[in-house]
Amino acid sequence: MSCEHTVTRAFSHLLRRFPFIMRMPYLVYSRMQARYTIGVAAVILDSADRILLVEHAYHPRFAWGLPGGWIDKDEDPSSAILRELSEELQLNARVLRVVHSAKTAPNHIDLAFQCEALSPIGNLSHELLGFRWVARADLPEIKRFHRQAIEFTNEQIQGDETWERV
């Protein structure tokens, strides 16, 4: 065992006995790291394989898109999309899987989840003007990230069907 490894082991043992020693270096390190906002979006298909799109009241460039929103501080991403669906659409759903992630703007990351609706859509929040179920061939102009999330969801579903047939 090298001298360097022995020192590392001794320091590690010290930290395990007195974990508060790392609090200050951790705080300094965490303040120096990049900060990102994180958005979440849901790809939800109905029984006719149509995609749920919503008309966002406050999105001037692409009014229509996937339902979603922002992750709150210390919120789990899958909890965030379920909260957004409940708040904006009064829709109960469950997360099936992550289908896409990308850095879509400076200091911003978007995550897309495939979700399954467990209830009908209720009253819309003030953030939405409407909703509709759209066939893939009839998608309006939407954000690139949303289109990719829909494509990746379709690919994963096709992969699931192939896997199930084997």
| In the chain, where the domains are located | 1-33, 36-165
- Which residue's structure tokens are 């501080």? 73
pTM to 2 decimals? 0.80
Cβ pair 112, 39 in contact under 8 A:
no
Beta carbons within 8 Å of 69's beta carbon, 6+ residues apart = 39, 40, 80, 81, 83, 84, 87, 88, 127
Q: What is the pLDDT along the chain (166 residues), one digit of tens a residue?
A: 666 668 888 877 777 788 777 777 777 777 777 788 999 999 999 999 999 999 999 888 899 999 999 999 999 999 999 999 999 999 999 999 999 999 999 999 999 999 999 999 999 999 999 999 999 999 999 999 999 999 999 999 888 765 444 3
**CA-wise closest residue to 100 among 135, 144, 59, 131:** 144
Cβ pair 40, 110 in contact under 8 A:
yes
- Please tell me the CATH code under which domain 36-165 is placed: 3.90.79.10
d(CA 88, CA 157): 26
C-alpha 49 chain-centroid distance = 21
